[in-house]
Chains A and B, each alone.
Chain A
Amino acid sequence: MAYTISNECIGCMACAKICPTNAVTGEKKQIHAIDPAACIECGACGRVCPSRAVLDHFGLAFERIPKKEWDCPQFDLKTCMSCTICLDTCPVSAISQALLLKGNPHLFPVLADEALCIGCGFCAGDCPADAVTMVPRNRESRTEETEKA
């Protein structure tokens, strides 16, 4: 149940560039296509497409969202159990680990570089402890809150 690309495609290649699994193929200025076997439904292509050409599996078109408005994860370290599920599930390996709590030898997840994140929300969806919330990026408080916890 992969995403698809409609005739609205202008062949700008934005989706092909961002797709973390290289599922999108197509020449410049030609209609692109998504390989259903490779697509993981992260939606990144839809968020970058300037002409609403990407359709989800219900056939609904995605709205383009400027990258600076994409959500990215915030980790609640009080609930986090250091299980590394979010690290593994992230399709762009944007999450790493660090010793974040003083006197606590367990490693906790961090999104060191927001720019890597494609806003798919897999980390939040897969976290069994519900320790991840998706919040707007570039929010000053994001890192602060993480540190406070």
Chain B
Amino acid sequence: MTTPKGYMGKIMMVDLTTGAIETEKISPKVYQSFLSGMGLAAHILYHRIPAGADPLGQENILGFVSGLLTGTGSLFTGRWMVTGLSPLTGGWGEANCGGSFSPAIKRCGVDGIFFKGISEKPVYLCVDDQGARLETAEAVWGKDAVEAETALIEKHPNARVACIGQAGEKRSLISGVSTDKGRLAARSGLGAVMGSKNLKALVLAGKKRIRVHNREEMKRLSKICNKWVQFQPPFVPGWLTAPVGALMRILPFVATQDGLLYKIMLRKWGTVSMNQISVEMGDSPIKNWMGSSADWGFFKSFSSQPDRFTRQETEKFHCYSCPLGCGGICKTKGRFPETHKPEYETVLSFGGFIMNKDVDLIFYLNELLNRAGMDTISAGHAVAFAMECYEKGIITTGHTGGRALEWGDPDDIKFLVEAMVARDGIGDLLADGVKRAAESIGPEAEAIALHCAGQEPAMHDSRNDPGFALHYSVDPAPGRHTNGAGLYYEMYQLWKKVKGVPKMGPAYMKSSKYKKDIHHARVGKANSVYLNVMNGAGACLFGGFIGATRIRIFDWLNGATGWQFTPEDYMEIGANIQVLKQAFNIKQGLDPKTCRVPDRLLGRPVQTRGANKGRTVDVETMMKDYWELFGWDRETGRPTEETVNRIASIA
């Protein structure tokens, strides 16, 4: 057999019940059909998790995968992903994270590490020169993610660690997996799966070389990419971002976004660059999706203006193979000395979304939740849910132990989040997300619990960009903003590289964004398919945003592996991966129609003021069109049996 290039050609399967650890060869055909990363994971999990498995039981399989392009000399390709049957949605679960963990998986000689069964006692997996083994995690169980990582690295110098905090241990359904001291693969509740398996951490210290077909070609393409990243003209000061957003709200036309502009902002500030722009242009939901930009004006959002964050930043943080460095390490006041620079999602979830102006509190909650390993998007929703329920008399001081809950009150927010981490009182209820909380509170709470099949949507308003409504609804792991949007498609500039995808001109009328037509579904399909290719490659979304001719994913894939696939071939691969994930959900009994975003996010009832005034989104039609474009049943969202069999039989 020829040595695999780019990918490692093997996976590791750990049975936590028996303690057996096996390495399995995976055929080149599988990589050629699904790539590595999320595609490989979809292939493994679709076949091996039986229908009706309990997400927190023996049969669920938790997979940690690296990207095909990770470690090949390509850029923006250091993402790793965790996958499994999601306890939050009951379907396909995935979360994606950067940092330095992705190459560590491949340096153990495998593309993915999968866990089945349940360990009797807390353990962690250690892989190093001595091989792979399970070790007792008694000493780190109960510790938060930062403490645990620090202790494990002390014991295994130079290792890379992925671990859960208290939230995962306590099986909070909105918990994730942490690496690099608080960077979270947050979504789909996979931290709870790890906790249910009594698996505290992965400690990886392998040193395997990652082989590449044509390293010079990889470097050539990387230099092209880097040239665009280093292009950094001066941009407006932080306080001027809000007026930019307001202008975007007012103008009747839109310049098709070139992601280079966002790249410049990311390099300067990170994702917090969007804080005020998003509010002003109507992209950021306010007050549990009830409010609008009119309720959270410039002065209220000012405390989160981007310069505020870079002022506290002591150094930039680059994920592996990233020339941009949107992350950062920030000094904080109070209990924790430092924290990863809060991300846009966190700042907004704990900002306008719950009417909070106290940014010091956000820094604190960011670190608290990173350490606990709890998803800040879902946690923000849980707080907003509690506040709205209290306002409407659905929960009372009886639930809260005597405390009145008030929108934006720093003490109340702190109280709720700390209670969620500790699973104490009302916090115990909220720590499993808004769907579970509403189910136990009663039917009146259900209209306030905003989720897609159990997963809370992110801080991007589907009334402003209907693409979010579509992707929140149709993605096999619904509710996530990283799945796609109209705006993302503009930035990918895919039409410059791929035949047969919708083309976009330099500008368009804003009203066309809200027109009912098949264009949305076409764009949606291309988004999903391209994202699958990126997730198979381990590529960063923000890298993708700088445009397909500048970040040459398809060419890198050929350069790394020696394949000679066309961009259209890769898009076909991406479409097949989507089928596998959809089939996974159907096998688990999740009805695609029930994943639809809740009415409030669609402008039902319609907003009477603010940026999204008067807008409603006909997501039902978009979903049907999208399914039909994939060749699936228009009414049910099911791929045909023949399609599933064709793709599932690849081995």
**A68: CB under 8 A from chain B?**
no
Q: Which of chain B's residues have a CB closer than 8 A to the CB of A126?
A: 73, 215
Pairwise interchain contact B209-A41, C-beta atoms closer than 8 A = yes
When C-beta atoms are compared, the residue in chain B nearest to A85 turns out to be B321
Q: Which of chain B's residues have a CB closer than 8 A to the CB of A81?
A: 226, 229-230, 323
* With contact pairs A21-B129, A88-B71, A128-B74 given, residues A40 and B215 touching in the complex (Cβ less than 8 Å): no
When C-beta atoms are compared, the residue in chain A nearest to B318 turns out to be A82
* With contact pairs A93-B158, A99-B315 given, residues A84 and B207 touching in the complex (Cβ less than 8 Å): no
Q: Which of chain A's residues have a CB closer than 8 A to the CB of B226?
A: 81, 128-129
Interface string of B187-218 (1 = CB under 8 A from A): 00000000000000000000111000001001
Q: Which of chain A's residues have a CB closer than 8 A to the CB of B130?
A: 22
Q: Which of chain A's residues have a CB closer than 8 A to the CB of B215?
A: 125-126
Chain A stretch 96-127: residues in CB contact (< 8 A) with chain B: 99, 105-107, 122, 125-126
Q: How far is the CB of B601 from chain A (nearest CB, A)?
A: 37
**B357: CB under 8 A from chain A?**
no
**B452: CB under 8 A from chain A?**
no
**B429: CB under 8 A from chain A?**
no
**B219: CB under 8 A from chain A?**
yes
Pairwise interchain contact B316-A85, C-beta atoms closer than 8 A = no
Interface string of B318-347 (1 = CB under 8 A from A): 111111010010000000000000000000
**A149: CB under 8 A from chain B?**
no
Interface size on B (CB < 8 Å)?
A: 36
Pairwise interchain contact A107-B223, C-beta atoms closer than 8 A = no
Pairwise interchain contact A130-B318, C-beta atoms closer than 8 A = no
Q: How far is the CB of B308 from chain A (nearest CB, A)?
A: 16
Q: Which of chain B's residues have a CB closer than 8 A to the CB of A85?
A: 73, 320-321
A90 vs B629: C-alpha distance when bound (angstroms):
47
Pairwise interchain contact B323-A82, C-beta atoms closer than 8 A = yes
When C-beta atoms are compared, the residue in chain A nearest to B314 turns out to be A105
Q: Which of chain B's residues have a CB closer than 8 A to the CB of A84?
A: 100, 318-322
**A83: CB under 8 A from chain B?**
yes
**B456: CB under 8 A from chain A?**
no
Pairwise interchain contact B323-A88, C-beta atoms closer than 8 A = no
**A50: CB under 8 A from chain B?**
no
Pairwise interchain contact A105-B313, C-beta atoms closer than 8 A = yes
Which one of A20, A83, A105 contacts B323 once the chains associate, using CB atoms below 8 Å?
A83
Q: Which of chain B's residues have a CB closer than 8 A to the CB of A106?
A: 315-316, 318, 325
User: 5 shortest A-B CB distances, which residue pairs?
Assistant: A128-B222, A81-B323, A93-B158, A22-B129, A105-B316
A-B contact pairs, 5 of them (CB 8 A): A82-B323, A83-B322, A106-B316, A106-B325, A107-B316
> Can you name 16 extra interface pairs (CB under 8 A) apart from A85-B320, A106-B318, A126-B215?
A40-B208, A40-B209, A81-B226, A82-B323, A83-B318, A83-B321, A84-B100, A84-B318, A84-B320, A88-B107, A91-B207, A105-B314, A106-B315, A128-B223, A129-B223, A129-B323
Chain A residues proximal to chain B, CB less than 8 Å:
1, 20-22, 38, 40-41, 81-85, 88-89, 91, 93, 99, 105-107, 122, 125-126, 128-130
